[in-house]
Amino acid sequence: MAHVEVDFERCEGHGLCEQAAPEIYRLDDDGELELILEDIPQELRTRAEAGARVCPVAAIRITG
């Protein structure tokens, strides 16, 4: 199973990850990133990776 790691200090709340994979990433009302899923089932790995790829500050990493 894959795992999402976020550098919350680096995250600027652009929301591109949420657009790419709303079942995994969500911005709260203050524009702070929340992870809906930290452990990613295999069927969502591609979407999690897409969210990580579009992050303009490279704050998201998928491991495992």
- Note the pLDDT tens digit of each residue in 36-47: 999 999 999 999
Architecture of domain 2-63: 2-Layer Sandwich (3.30)
Decide: 61 and 34 in contact? Cβ < 8 Å.
Answer: no
Q: Where are the domains of the chain?
A: 2-63
What is the 3 state secondary structure string of the chain? CEEEEECCCCCCCCCHHHHHCCCCEEECCCCCEEECCCEECHHHHHHHHHHHHCCCCCCEEEEC
pLDDT tens digit sequence for 17-34: 999 999 999 999 999 999
Decide: 38 and 9 in contact? Cβ < 8 Å.
Answer: no
Which of 39, 45, 48 is CA-nearest to residue 18? 48
The model scores a pTM over 0.85: yes
| pLDDT for 35 | 98
